[in-house]
Structure 1
Amino acid sequence: MTTAARSRGPATGERSARSSASRATGVLRGAGFGGPAAARALMAVANFTVGYTLEEQAALRPDGLGPADPDRLRGAVTAGDYPHLTATLPTLTSPDFAAHFEFGLEVLVAGLKALE
């Protein structure tokens, strides 16, 4: 560890967030994104991550003892009224949050690659 790094102390809190954002922006700039595009890409990934985290937390039961009951959504959707939702209910009501997040992130990354 360098003397400068020791004098700054451990990277925690706000400084850690700035350091991570700077590294991520550097990776994006190194991949060919200009300054504004790198900043927007960073914000898109950060906003997706925060939004997804909020959505995942909202899907928990109020008592915190696991995911909400997917039958509530299933019961609100009928094949006659919402055929497209009905066809996708197994995915919409799946508690596999990691798979949902990974798919969304893959879509976001693919879109960013298309902008390079």
Structure 2
Amino acid sequence: MKSSITLYDALTSISMPSGKTKAVVEAWENEVKDLASKSDLGQTERHLKASISELGAELRVLIREQGVELRSSVKEQGLELRSSITALEAQGKIVHWQFGIIFICISVPSIKLGYDFLNRALLGE
């Protein structure tokens, strides 16, 4: 308000008509009322710094929590992988023994057949 009076006095001192002076002062007041003062800016700066600090702390907590969750998930998946590998190794051993049994089941009759053939061929039965 003090600045408005000073502006009004300055304009009237240069012989500006009273009506125009009032219009200029009112227009100036309308423009100036939304301007921020140094204290307003300082308060806003402090508020922003506090908000940034608070958000940074929240972000660090979230990062820590997600790190714990990630480690837990990786550990769990590692255990599942080891379990799957063990199961596959067991299945591989079973398949190995099955091939051995199949080989024996095929080779024993083949050997007997070969022995019988040679026996007939050599002994002339």
Instruction: Give the greater-gyration-radius structure (CA).
Output: 2
The alignment's TM-score, normalised by the length of structure 1, stands at 0.26
Q: State TM-score, norm by structure 2.
A: 0.24
Q: Which has the higher helix share?
A: 2
